[in-house]
Amino acid sequence: MIDIKLIRDNPELVRENIKKKFQDAKLPLVDEVMELDRKHRAAIQEASDLRAARNTLSKQVGMLMGQAKKDPSKLEEAEAVKAQVKANADRLAELEVLEGEYAQEIRSRMMLIPNIIDPSVPIGESDEYNVEVQRFGDPVVPDYEIPYHTQIMERLDGIDMDSAGRVSGNGFYYLMGDIARLHEGVLAYARDFMIDKGFTFCVPPFMIRGAVVEGVMSQTEMDAMMYKIEGEDLYLIGTSEHSMIGKFIDQIIPEAKLPQTLTSYSPCFRKEKGAHGIEERGVYRIHQFEKQEMVVVCKPEESMDWYEKMWRYSVELFRSLEIPVRQLECCSGDLADLKVKSCDIEAWSPRQQKYFEVCSCSNLGDAQARRLKMRVKGEDGKMYLPHTLNNTVVAPPRMLIAFLENHLQADGSITIPEALQPYMGGKAVLTPKN
């Protein structure tokens, strides 16, 4: 959510940003907000004037009632002023209701207006216009067949989707044996990797209230992703970023406590609506998975430096596991409304002979802070809004696809990179059982 002062002072900038995001249907919102804001401020001013007049009129009534004891003609004048006091009180009550209504109408529209994107963001209508920035590691296509990832897992007795379908339906899985251990090993390695970078490890709540959901994401994202707990004001998190940023709702953070650098583990729950192609079956798009996340809350002037650090951490981690990756800059039309700038880290798939998303790094500016009423108290005592950023460290289901495909040998075995071996009980190779 942007600052309403920006709409008051520079509505054309806001309109141009909406056009850059190819959301022209939202253009009328700018004029609607400006008109509602004018009415809101007028109501506030009129109410303020009435409160000031109330004190004056009350004193006048008291004075006239005192004079009426000696001069009965003053009684009629006092009654007239009393009537004015009542009329003003009735109008003030109306204005207080209007103030709340106008504020709610403004907020509901402001929540739909996209954040101002960074000038460096490429302009494009959809992810087809995302721009490859650089590659890390050489993508290799071996001279032997790379089976579909669930087939690789099945050869290791590592997955049971049939049983999961009977128990929970489509979009779920049982991981077994070495694959389950690999899944947990990758998470533990990612946790320690981020701790070594100076991040504080955290296990957050896996359910959050509606006010936090509204604070961290757009209504469109919420409808597409979140599962709501029936009969309660609670939602299952789609990523631990939600509860990690929500940790600071309604809080004043001392400037000396910045930056807040946190890495969190959580299960994640997502609706994943819609049909997907064959390559997005298996464990690519699922309703439940686990993830290690990184979150930063920092001073505004430091957020772009943190953005660069965070996506590079992802690259470093994947390269330490000998997986080739590339950085893909997200275009304007592919950015969620709260994001200022975002990039994906994509891993190489030897099977598909292309890259696919495994991490998403985002700078959200002060949008989440404004929605959640997060503030920082500077050393000078002044308050300001921090910037928030998030990035995937690893989400093992997708990461496992990249790992298995890139480490599969001709005999069906899976090599374990040296960095991960301590998390696999010292194993250097996983041998197929089927």
Lowest mean pLDDT among 101-105, 144-148, 166-170: 166-170
pLDDT digits (tens, 9 = 90+) for 193-242: 999 999 999 999 999 999 999 999 877 777 778 899 999 999 999 999 99
Q: Which CATH number fits domain 127-430: 3.30.70.1710, 3.30.470.10, 3.30.930.10, 3.40.50.10420?
A: 3.30.930.10
Residue 80 has pLDDT above 80, yes or no: no
Angle, CA of 332, 338 and 340, to the nearest 5°: 50
Return d(Cα 232, Cα 98) in angstroms, integer: 30
Per-residue pLDDT band at 252 (split at 50, 70, 90): very high
Q: What is the pTM of this model?
A: 0.88
Return d(Cα 206, Cα 24) in angstroms, integer: 36
Q: Which is more confident, 344 or 65?
A: 344
pLDDT digits (tens, 9 = 90+) for 394-434: 998 889 999 999 999 999 999 999 999 999 999 999 999 87
What is the model's pLDDT at position 156?
A: 94
Per-residue pLDDT band at 274 (split at 50, 70, 90): very low
Kindly state the average pLDDT of the residues 168-178.
91
Residue 174 has pLDDT above 90, yes or no: yes
The single residue listed with the structure tokens 């087809």 is 128
Q: Which is more confident, 52 or 312?
A: 312
Residue 182 has pLDDT above 70, yes or no: yes
Residue 315 has pLDDT above 80, yes or no: yes
Q: In 3-state terms, what secondary structure has residue 317?
A: helix
Per-residue pLDDT band at 83 (split at 50, 70, 90): confident
What is the model's pLDDT at position 55?
A: 67
Per-residue pLDDT band at 62 (split at 50, 70, 90): low
* Structure token pair of residue 241: 């970023």
pLDDT digits (tens, 9 = 90+) for 139-158: 999 999 999 999 999 999 99
What is the model's pLDDT at position 77?
A: 67
Which residues in the chain are classed under CATH 3.30.930.10?
Answer: 127-430
Taking 3-state DSSP, the helix, strand and coil percentages for the chain, each rounded to the nearest 5, stand at: 50, 20, 30
Per-residue pLDDT band at 86 (split at 50, 70, 90): confident
Residue 316 has pLDDT above 50, yes or no: yes
* Structure token pair of residue 304: 């772009």
Q: DSSP string of 6-27?
A: HHHH-HHHHHHHHHHTT-GGGT
Alpha helices, DSSP H, located in 144-269: 149-155, 161-167, 177-196, 210-216, 219-225, 240-246
Q: Which is more confident, 396 or 191?
A: 191
* Structure token pair of residue 37: 């804001």
Q: Which is more confident, 59 or 221?
A: 221
What is the model's pLDDT at position 68?
A: 60
Residue 53 has pLDDT above 90, yes or no: no
Kindly state the average pLDDT of the residues 252-259.
97
Choose among 261, 246, 132, 141: nearest CA to 197.
261
Which residues in the chain are classed under CATH 1.10.287.40?
Answer: 4-110
What is the model's pLDDT at position 65?
A: 61
Residue 18 has pLDDT above 80, yes or no: yes
Lowest mean pLDDT among 271-285, 307-321, 367-381: 271-285
Choose among 272, 273, 313: nearest CA to 293.
313
Angle, CA of 163, 168 and 172, to the nearest 5°: 75
Per-residue pLDDT band at 74 (split at 50, 70, 90): low
Residues contacting residue 283 through CB under 8 Å, at least 6 positions apart: 149, 150, 159, 173, 289, 397, 398, 400, 401
Detail the DSSP E strand segments found in 77-206.
131-136, 159-160, 174-175, 200-202
Q: Which is more confident, 276 or 18?
A: 18
Kindly state the average pLDDT of the residues 343-363.
96
* Structure token pair of residue 249: 């709702």
Fold topology of 4-110:
Helix Hairpins (1.10.287)
Q: DSSP string of 399-423?
A: HHHHHHHHHB-TTS-EE--GGGGGG
**405: how many CB neighbours lie within 10 A of its CB?**
22
Contact predicate 118/387, CB 8 Å: no
Burial string for 48-64 (b: 16+ CB within 10 Å, else e) reads: eebeeeeeebeebbeeb
Contact predicate 215/193, CB 8 Å: no
Return d(Cα 235, Cα 17) in angstroms, integer: 31
Contact predicate 287/242, CB 8 Å: no
Lowest mean pLDDT among 19-28, 57-66, 237-246: 57-66
What is the model's pLDDT at position 72?
A: 66
What is the model's pLDDT at position 279?
A: 45
Q: Which is more confident, 165 or 25?
A: 25
Q: Is the peptide bond before 259 cis (omega within 30 degrees of 0)?
A: yes
Q: Which is more confident, 10 or 284?
A: 10
Contact predicate 57/84, CB 8 Å: yes
Contact predicate 401/284, CB 8 Å: yes
How high does pLDDT run on average in the chain? Answer: 91
What is the model's pLDDT at position 277?
A: 46
Contact predicate 231/349, CB 8 Å: no
Per-residue pLDDT band at 58 (split at 50, 70, 90): low
